[in-house]
Structures are given as structure tokens and as C-alpha cells.
Structure 1
Amino acid sequence: MLNELELTVTRTIAAPREVVFNAWLSPVTLATFMRTAADGVEARNVTTDPVKGGRFMIVMVTPEREIPHSGTYLDITPFSRLSFTWESPHSLDDSVVTIDFAEPFPGQTEITLKQVKFRSEQARDGHIGGWTAILGYLDGSLMTA
């Protein structure tokens, strides 16, 4: 079944686990990296209520349109795990993203991001590219912070 499709993206970032974890919960920081690789895409109107059951909203803006992304925090385990629903025009309503944060070496964070449930293989593959770009922007934003 297509809704059983999933993806996993990993990246090691040269920043402490606490810093990387907190970047996902701060609307200011989230706005700096929550965008895709497409030219001219940026995140606006970013809000977070970082408690279990709290909501977040990210509007990705392209030159042609606005694409809303939102969700509900399911698990916030400080510095080790973040899980939330992922609601976007490109995902199934019950899609879930889980991010695990590990510290293989002091001052480095390994992120393992997993998302489950997609409309199609093409949608999943598009999300692989999107999440890979987002983790790259996260890495870049923390290097300049």
C-alpha cells in the first residue's frame, strides 16, 4: 500500500545536540532552514507551540504560491527525539515525522529523520529531496550562528 511508504534521511551536523534540537522548536531558527532547494523558496509565518499536543505552522513561499505546512507535536523528548504530524498538500493527513538526535562525538549531532505515509512513490521521493535540502540548510544556519 502506498500509505506504507516511508523515508529516512540522516546527516551529521557540527553542533551540540542541544543546539540542533532547539533549532527545530524555535520559530526564528526554524524559518532560517525550513525551505527546499528550489530557488526563491523561503519560510514565512513560522509559529511553534513546542509542547506535546502543541501545533506548529510553516508557510513555504515561492514566487508563484504559498504552501502551508503544519502539524501537532506528538513527542518532545529534550535533546533526543522530536515527533510530529506533517500536514501539507503533498502528504497524507496522518503522515508522521520522527527525528532522533544522537551525539556520536562531543559537539556533533547525528540527525536521523524518518517520515511515514505518502500518497505515492513520487511524493516520497520528493520529500527525500526536500528533507535533505532542509537538513543542509539547518547545518548551514548553525555554522553561521
Structure 2
Amino acid sequence: MASNVGDAPEGARVSRKRFATGWTTFAACLMIFGGSMAVFQGIGAIVNDDRYVVTGNYVYKFDVTGWGWIHLILGLVIVLAGFMIFNGAVWARTVGVIAAGLSMIANFLWLPYYPFWSIVLIAIDVFVIWALTAGTHRETA
């Protein structure tokens, strides 16, 4: 029986590398869910931009259809990266962190249009970034 990580059989090491920990797996699920929400948000803004009402005068005011395309593209990237994390792709973790960061910025700027939805997606993106950067394994003594 292997006493530490370095003594593990070759097949066990490969198996551990291919699968992420529970938090990373949960982050991938949240990426798929949050990315899907962003895709629906983008489709809604593209198809019917009169549906969204600006709640006040803000320094930044953008065209809702343009924001719809931004959310649609970011959402698709996040969903694809989420699926690739399940396959163990290291590049998907990097893409996920970058896309979640961009999604946080986009949703912050989307606050005047749909505040509750934006706050929920910002919270999901914060957790995704934490889970993807926290590491994939724990060392035991």
C-alpha cells in the first residue's frame, strides 16, 4: 500500500490528475449554470431590447443589444470551459478564471438594467474564480 502521493502507482497518479476535486467539479457545474444564464440573458437582450428598463441615470450607458452580444459570447465561452474542466483540461481552468472575471465586470456594468440577476451572476463568478484557483488536491500528513 502506498504511504504518500509519490509512492502511488502510476495509474493512480494519472487518475488523480484527470479528475478535479469536489470544489473544482462544483465550480464547473456553476460555470455551466452561470454561463447558460448569461446566454439566456444575452438572447433576451438581443431579441427584445425594449424589455430592459434602465433604473436611473448612470455614468455608463450602453446599447442593450450590444450588451446582449457581450453576454451571449461570454456565456458560451464559460459553458464550454465548464464542460472542458470535467475532461481535466488545464487550459480550461485558465480560460474559466479569465472569462469569469470578464463576466463579473460585464455584470457589474449590467446592474442598471437587471440588478438582481447581475448580483447573482457576480456571486457565482466570485466562487468560480476561487474554486479554480484554490488548487486541485490536498496534501495529507
Q: Same fold (TM over 0.5)?
A: no
- The structure with the greater share of residues assigned to helix is 2
- The structure with the greater share of residues assigned to strand is 1
TM-score, length-scaled by structure 2: 0.30
TM-score, length-scaled by structure 1: 0.30
* Rg larger in structure: 2
